[in-house]
Amino acid sequence: MLKITPVQYDPTTWVLAVDGSVDLSNVAELQEAFDALFDKGIYRIIVEMDRVAFIASAGFGCLLNARDVVIKHGGGLVFAGTNRRVREIFDLLGITSFLRFAPDLGGALAQMGI
């Protein structure tokens, strides 16, 4: 089961707290969470991932698409608290070099300049 909790940190920055595994059966929920923020003009997003157990390829595709939208609009996207197992998958896919990671929410906020 996947649970996504959007939390407004300040007027221009939101946190998406993701809990569970992201796979083909529920990736649309993650995309909808991003789309809801984009519809509000929010392009500064922290994805809190400390409770994410697994991400399938569909989930990575969703995250990369969200990154593209954020960058296109001059925003920022930081992944906070990514556990070792999930981070290894990012590494294996060779995409860590153009993504931003922080050890926790505080580090992500600092990367956002907050």
Per-domain residue ranges for the chain? 3-111
Distance, in Å, from the CA atom of 94 to the CA atom of 45, rounded to the nearest integer, reads: 22
CB neighbours of 37 closer than 8 A, spacing ≥ 6?
6, 14, 16, 43, 45
pLDDT for the residue numbered 32: 98
| Residues shown for the chain | 114
* Joined tokens for residue 64: 């990369």
pLDDT for the residue numbered 48: 97
Q: In what order do the strands lie in the sheet with 13-22?
A: 3-10, 13-22, 44-55, 76-80, 100-102
Residue 47 DSSP one-character state: E
State the pTM of this model: 0.94
Kindly give the parts of the chain with pLDDT less than 70: none
Class of 3-111 in CATH: alpha beta
Distance, in Å, from the CA atom of 105 to the CA atom of 58, rounded to the nearest integer, reads: 24
Contact 38, 45 (CB under 8 A): no
